[in-house]
Amino acid sequence: MKTKQMLTLDDAKKIVAAAEAEALANNWAVVISVVDDGGHLLLLQRLDNAPLMSTGIAPAKAKSAALGKRDTKIFEDIINNGRYAFMTVPGMDGMLEGGVAILIEGQCVGAVGVSGVKSTEDVQIARAGIAALGL
């Protein structure tokens, strides 16, 4: 049997706290979500004045990053480069930049999805959250 690392609720809280701090430091109203390696929601936080639609987009980005074991920008680029059939991949609804996989020694343990500002800013917030884990 193999042993695998897992995100805990405490890990998710650390991620969200650091991501929130990054968003607030830049005056960005966003939704932050953290999922496990199967794309199941561990924690979702909507900052004041975040777009309502972002409550669906952020977890979808996180789920796509976790299931794909890579950042969602890769999927968005695939689609933007003409591989439109990729949009039909089952269970992958958030193939927009802003989902960041959490990798430990090459193993995906979960992901963070952020929505509410520019995609590059969403990624900045997600990475700030992941950095709180000290990986």
* Neighbour order of strands in the sheet with 41-46: 41-46, 31-36, 107-115, 99-104
pLDDT number for residue 51:
96
pLDDT digits (tens, 9 = 90+) for 29-71: 999 999 999 999 999 999 999 999 999 999 999 999 999 999 9
Q: Which CATH architecture does the domain made up of 9-131 adopt?
A: 2-Layer Sandwich (3.30)
pLDDT attached to residue 122: 98
Which among 67, 59, 61 has a CA at the least distance from the CA of 108? 67
User: Is the distance from CB of 130 to CB of 20 less than 8 angstroms?
Assistant: no
Residue 2 has pLDDT above 90, yes or no: no
Read off φ and ψ for residue 12, nearest 5 degrees. -60, -40
Strand partners, 97: none
- Beta bridge partners of residue 104, listed in sequence order: 107
The percentage of the chain sitting over the pLDDT mark of 90, rounded to a whole number, equals 87
At 7 the pLDDT is 96
Task: Characterize 102-122 residue by residue with b for buried, 16 or more Cβ atoms within 10 angstroms of its Cβ, and e for exposed.
Answer: bbeeeebbbbbbbbbbebebb
pLDDT band at 25 (very low <50, low <70, confident <90, very high): very high
